[in-house]
Amino acid sequence: MLKSVKSRAEEQFAATQKKNKQALKEKEKVRQERAEQVASLRALRLAKEAADKKADAEKAAAKKPAAKKK
């Protein structure tokens, strides 16, 4: 027996909803991976900045003449 127009429309709607749900999951996965990458790069940058600041402080301390004792 032939399917009614309504049941075919419902099947198409369900298939479309399934595709949309899958697409949203994929977009979320990509967004999460990108966020993790950005966080990783930020952590590396902050660590490098801290190391550079420490090195600069050590250079500045080495350039100052030692305190004179009386």
Render pLDDT for 35-66 as a digit per residue (tens, 0 to 9).
999 999 999 999 999 999 999 999 888 888 76
> Domain residue spans in the chain?
15-61
Tokens of 40: 């990783």
Query: Under DSSP, is residue 3 helix (H, G, I), strand (E, B) or coil?
Result: coil
pLDDT mean over 15-42: 98
Element (H, E) at 9: helix 5-63
Question: pTM of the entire structure?
Answer: 0.62
* Distance from C-alpha of 33 to C-alpha of 20, rounded to nearest angstrom: 20
Report the alpha-carbon distance of residue 30 to residue 22 in Å, rounded: 12
Name the residue with tokens 């030692």.
66
Cα separations in angstroms, 56 against 18, 45, 62 = 57, 16, 10
